[in-house]
Amino acid sequence: MLAGNSPGAAKALQYLSLTQNLSPLSTDLTHRPQYPTHGGPIALLDSVTAAVDTPPSKMPPRLPIRLALPRPCAVAARPLLLPLTATRGVKYGWTTAPPRNKHKRFNQPSSGLPALTNGPAAALKRRENTTPLRSGVLATKKGMTSVFVGKTRVPCTVLQLDQVQVVANKTRQKNGYWAVQIGAGSRDGRNVTSPLLGYYEAKGIAPKAELAEFKVRNESGLLPVGVQILPDWFKKGQYVDVKGRSRGMGFAGGMKRHGFSGQEASHGNSKNHRTIGTTGPSQGSGSRVMPGKKMPGRMGNEFVTVQNLKVMMVDNDLGIVLVGGPIAGPKGRVVRLQDAKKRKAPPQPHREAALATLLERNPDHEVKLQEARERHLQLKNERETAQLQD
């Protein structure tokens, strides 16, 4: 800044104070002085001082409006440089980084799949190739055995079908997708809630111990309500997917649950040989435990799907299906058995023959269903009347 005792500085400040009342329309820059454009505010005031100290004959008629000082404001001016504050946490928001290239398998147009669109119809279309044509069944795991194929011993799992019946159908028009609800086993009516008893009563079916839903590709995969499915629904030699809940192992550490290698046995390590170590994989202001971090916890007791198991044998008299390979879960666990998604569907002649056999065994299923509905409405009215009288 200029020295306060300089006469040129005093004249410059007085001149600048008068220019605060300049009109915005005074834009005559014909005689604009050539002030220096670099050097900051000190160089600017030095230039103004030099202009004031010059004789009146060489002095410009007026100061350019771009050098006029702003009028005073009652609102306190915001500081130009805000103090930097350290923040902790993950920063989300808009970024200028270019999008990362995705693998070609995620590019729908180039992979031959239909373009991604919104809506239930588009979702069903995308899943069309991975949805089975037929419904699956509920089966009980009875144990394991082995069979010989030539001179090769093949371990197998024995699955038993116990009173497997079609309970309901779900349609695209009403529910948004096609599915078949399957029930298996039996349950004492005293252990079933009243709404569920009415649900079974309207279909003429005894209460089931297990209920499951199997999605099918289209309307042709729906089955009549009340028909019973036997093991010959599957064909020897076809491939199936089996989904079951694994055995619960209880609380387990990182080495047993996830296969961690553990830490050093010596070299200064003490009492931390089987611990997982650090859990914070990031650093800086985003330090946190990332979601999905592998840590100690309850092991097992989760759904496990074993795909592409070959059907070795079917027996209607024993009610069993023999599949090659192991299945998750202990003996007595109920599993879901359905045609394999990653293999070709069973041949059409077998599918048509299995459906025809199913309908031949239950020729009057429509009549029984209608009688059950009428009986259910009659009993429902009687119960409502009895409640009103009480």
Its pTM stands at: 0.66
pLDDT of residue 58: 55
pLDDT of residue 44: 47
Other CB atoms within a 10 A radius of the CB of residue 344 amount to 9
Which H or E run includes 377?
helix 365-389
Please list the ranges in the chain whose pLDDT falls under 70: 1-116, 281, 285-286
pLDDT tens across 107-151, in order?
555 556 656 677 777 888 888 888 999 999 999 999 999 999 999
305 - beta bridge partners?
A: 243
pLDDT of residue 29: 45
Which H or E run includes 256?
helix 254-258
pLDDT tens across 50-109, in order?
554 555 555 555 555 554 555 555 555 555 455 544 544 445 556 666 666 656 555 555
pLDDT of residue 22: 46
Give the DSSP per-residue string, 131-145: S-SS--EEEEEEEEE
Task: Report the SS3 class of residue 284.
Answer: helix
Instruction: Name every residue whose Cβ is closer than 8 Å to that of residue 246 and which is 6 or more positions away in sequence.
Output: 300, 301, 302, 303, 304, 328, 329
pLDDT of residue 28: 47
Q: How far apart are CA 3 and CA 344, in angstroms?
A: 94
Place of tokens 């309307």: 219
Tell me the C-alpha to C-alpha distance, in Å, between residue 358 and each of 41, 171, 228, 229, 321.
96, 21, 7, 7, 17
pLDDT of residue 46: 52
Q: How far apart are CA 317 and CA 93, in angstroms?
A: 65
Phi and psi of 131, rounded to 5°? -100, 125
CATH architecture of 132-255+298-384: Beta Barrel (2.40)
Give the DSSP per-residue string, 3-40: -TT-HHHHHHHHHHHHGGG--TT----TT-----SSSH
- Here the tokens at position 311 are 């059907």
Task: Report the SS3 class of residue 265.
Answer: coil
pLDDT of residue 92: 52
Amino acid at the residue 227:
V
Secondary structure E strands in the chain: 137-149, 152-160, 165-170, 179-184, 210-215, 239-245, 248-252, 297-300, 303-315, 320-324, 334-339
Domain positions in the chain: 7-67, 132-255+298-384
Torsion of CA 18, 21, 25, 30, to 10 degrees: 10
